Amino acid sequence: MEQPRAAARLQIILGHLRRPSAGAVVAHPTTGTISSASFHPQQFQYTLDNNVLTLEQRNFYEENGFLVIKNLVPDADIQRFRNEFEKICRKEVKPFGLVVMRDVTISKSEYTPSEKMTTKVQDFQEDKELFRYCTLPEILKYVECFTGPNIMAMHTMLINKPPDSGKKTSRHPLHQDLHYFPFRPSNLIVCAWTAMEHIDRNNGCLVVLPGTHKGSLKPHDYPKWEGGVNKMFHGIQDYEENNARVHLVMEKGDTVFFHPLLIHGSGQNKTQGFRKAISCHFASADCHYIDVKGTSQENIEKEVVGIANKFWGDENSMNLKDIWMFRARLVKGERINL
């Protein structure tokens, strides 16, 4: 999409949001326990009735908050995503709205467009090739088990974890993804995260704390790491350090689906190569937006809105809801409330 069209779309969205009815939703305190009993009164609280997951798989996700599906995304698709990422790094393509991130240890160094200088691209909803990931039938058939048939793609990322510089900045602190999201209910949100190559503890695989999806959204902030922390890498301040941790060793095409309250992070990349993964957070179109003012999410709203206002110009006074509405894309079914 060309920049004028996308900018016009944002203005239309902002116009709708500023109507009197836009502020009708009242936030639930994000520091309290989030329950989905009213949505799924049966024994299954975190998965919906479907003919895709086996009973064993449903029980595993219910208990642990994540599920790995082996060899889900074909090699040919992985290669196409890799090729498009390399074009973005070389600035051969410039999708509108795409955010390109660099590790804090190289953020102020001389910039030469290349894969080695890019640690993450996010918000690739305007890149037709990368956005194909969010529409893959292999992905959506599993997503529907958590969100239902009306599916929105909310947040997209391709992560290119770099070799650690020695300052351990390639780590991602333990966190809950719901910290970044101003929509609910949490049980109708799921992340699909696909390995683009072999991933293990050497190159910084995901680490999860099974069962933590049953808890509450905890306060997040920047960890006090001596080597520095990357932009918006907020972490939980008071998690239980005795929780059992599981390191997810994955092969190319393996995909993990996980709940937005699951505590997870990733270790440093101790190899000389780059570790790639592609992901999308999906939500049901039945979800609703909340106001995060006065909640533990207020700090991330200020940071995200500050960055967005710089991108769009100070004349656009946005909030976190505005930004997420601009990112959202319907990928299956009907758009209802979100």
Q: Are 195 and 252 in contact (CB under 8 A)?
A: yes
Note whether residue 208 is domain-resident: yes
Judged by phi (left if over 0) then psi (alpha if -120 to 50, else beta), residue 286 lies in alpha
Model-level pTM? Answer: 0.83
What pLDDT does 309 receive? 75
Q: Which helix (H) or strand (E) holds 206?
A: strand 206-208
- Residue 187 belongs to domain spanning: 47-332
Distance CA 78, CA 196 (A): 6
Closest residue by Cα to residue 262 from 26, 28, 34:
34
Note whether residue 87 is domain-resident: yes
What pLDDT does 31 receive? 30
Q: Are 185 and 287 in contact (CB under 8 A)?
A: yes
Closest residue by Cα to residue 232 from 276, 175, 160:
175
- ∠ CA 41-50-335 to the nearest 5 degrees? 85
Q: Are 253 and 75 in contact (CB under 8 A)?
A: yes
Q: Are 164 and 198 in contact (CB under 8 A)?
A: no
The CA distances from residue 5 to 139, 204, 308, in Å, are 29, 39, 18
Note whether residue 8 is domain-resident: no
**Number of domains making up the chain:** 1
CATH code for the domain in which residue 79 is found: 2.60.120.620
Note whether residue 21 is domain-resident: no
Note whether residue 19 is domain-resident: no
What pLDDT does 233 receive? 72
Note whether residue 37 is domain-resident: no
Note whether residue 10 is domain-resident: no
Distance CA 180, CA 185 (A): 14
List the pLDDT tens digit at each of the 338 positions of the chain.
Answer: 445 545 544 444 444 333 333 332 222 332 333 333 334 445 899 999 999 999 999 999 999 999 999 999 999 999 999 999 999 999 999 999 898 877 555 555 545 555 667 888 999 999 999 999 999 999 999 999 999 999 999 999 999 998 887 777 778 889 999 999 999 999 999 999 999 999 999 999 999 999 999 999 999 877 776 656 666 678 897 767 777 899 999 999 999 999 999 999 998 999 999 999 999 999 999 999 999 999 999 988 888 888 777 766 655 667 888 888 889 999 999 877 66
Distance CA 269, CA 279 (A): 19
Note whether residue 338 is domain-resident: no
